[in-house]
């Protein structure tokens, strides 16, 4: 038997779970992150499952119904629209409600970085249950796609992993949308933020705005400026200008494009403003710099 869910998709109405448990994880055990298993399960009323210290992080999203989770001497009443996590090698007990048993999807992650990414999703030391701020059916659809691609070949393996990573990214996105996320450390260091800011500016120097940079990274602008100056001994604005000047210097020496094109290529719509900044940096106008260094570049 089967029935239609809210999205018009067929789902099992019996106890038997639909799940994928591939063998590729056996050769991926040294990977930093990999999926071990996933599945979809509609439980019978009162169905219990003792989870005895199994390997991995088992992330569940409840699509409908209710249930009970018992871990570390505490009980959690979990319902539709929530997520719960069974953590690596912890003894837990969970049970479907007697009147409205839950129906959920899950994915099991393993690897060196599995715990870190669960923390990114808000499941810190004492957190096992959270509200899901993403449509639960998005998680269902991802797991369904994995179940439809069980073939043991390289392309299918990579495809399944991409969907599993998307599942995890949705969990992290859900946490980021919560009110608690801004009060929770992401696990990233000050060096991580500064490094990302540098890489972003070096890749997007022609159109990035410092006013938007903090938003791209996901932290407060004042905080970004403070940690950037602490680590780099200059402001993000100063660093961006330095990158732009270096790029413009290369264009002047290695190409014949007009000065106004060079200016636009490095983020300056006003050629006069660009020339003024360039002269201050190198002591020569762009034209003079090109003329002086072109012969040196040609000889080398």
Q: Which tokens hold the place of 279?
A: 């002269």
| φ, ψ (nearest 5 deg) of residue 50 | -80, 120
Q: Which tokens hold the place of 45?
A: 């009323």
Angle at 25 between CA 24 and CA 31, to 5 degrees: 120
Q: What is the pLDDT of residue 258?
A: 96
The Cα 60–Cα 80 span in angstroms is: 11
Q: What is the pLDDT of residue 154?
A: 85
Q: What is the mean pLDDT of each run of 10 residues along the chain (300 residues)?
A: 40 47 57 89 89 87 97 95 95 95 95 91 93 96 92 88 95 84 60 91 89 81 91 95 96 94 95 96 95 68
Cα-Cα-Cα-Cα dihedral sign, residues 56, 116, 119, 150: negative
Domain residue ranges in the chain: 2-183, 188-300
CATH number 2.60.120.280 given to 2-183 = yes
Which residues are CB-contacts of 27 (< 8 A; sequence separation ≥ 6)?
A: none
Query: Are the C-beta atoms of residues 22 and 150 closer than 8 Å to each other?
Result: yes
Angle at 260 between CA 256 and CA 265, to 5 degrees: 80
Q: Which tokens hold the place of 7?
A: 């999205």
Q: What is the pLDDT of residue 141?
A: 96
Fold of 188-300: Arc Repressor Mutant, subunit A (1.10.10)
């Amino acid at each position: 038997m089967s029935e239609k869910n809210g999205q018009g998709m067929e789902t099992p109405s019996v106890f038997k779970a639909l799940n994928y448990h591939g063998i590729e994880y056996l050769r991926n055990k040294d990977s930093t992150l990999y999926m071990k298993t996933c599945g979809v399960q509609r439980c019978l009323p009162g169905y219990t499952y003792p989870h005895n210290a199994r390997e991995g992080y088992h992330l569940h999203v409840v699509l409908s119904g209710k249930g009970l989770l018992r871990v570390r001497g505490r009980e959690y009443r979990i319902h539709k629209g929530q997520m719960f996590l069974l953590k690596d090698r912890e003894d837990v007990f969970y049970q479907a409600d007697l009147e409205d048993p839950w129906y959920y999807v899950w994915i099991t992650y393993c690897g060196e970085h599995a715990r870190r990414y669960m923390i990114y999703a808000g499941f810190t030391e004492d957190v096992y249950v959270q509200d899901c701020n993403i449509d639960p059916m998005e998680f269902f659809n991802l797991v369904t796609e994995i179940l439809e691609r069980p073939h043991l070949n390289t392309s299918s393996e990579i495809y399944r992993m991409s969907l599993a990573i998307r599942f995890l990214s949705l969990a992290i996105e859900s946490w980021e949308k919560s009110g608690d996320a801004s009060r929770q450390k992401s696990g990233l260091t000050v060096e991580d933020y500064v490094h990302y800011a540098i890489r972003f500016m070096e890749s997007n120097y022609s159109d990035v705005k410092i006013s938007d940079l903090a938003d791209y990274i996901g932290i407060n602008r004042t905080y970004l400026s403070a940690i950037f100056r602490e680590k780099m001994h200059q402001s993000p604005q100063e660093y961006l200008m330095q990158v732009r000047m270096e790029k413009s210097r290369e264009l002047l020496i290695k190409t014949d494009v007009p000065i106004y094109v060079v200016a636009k290529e490095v983020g300056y719509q006003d050629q006069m403003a660009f020339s003024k900044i360039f002269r201050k940096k190198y002591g020569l106008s762009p034209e003079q710099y090109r003329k002086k260094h072109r012969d040196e570049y040609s000889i080398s």
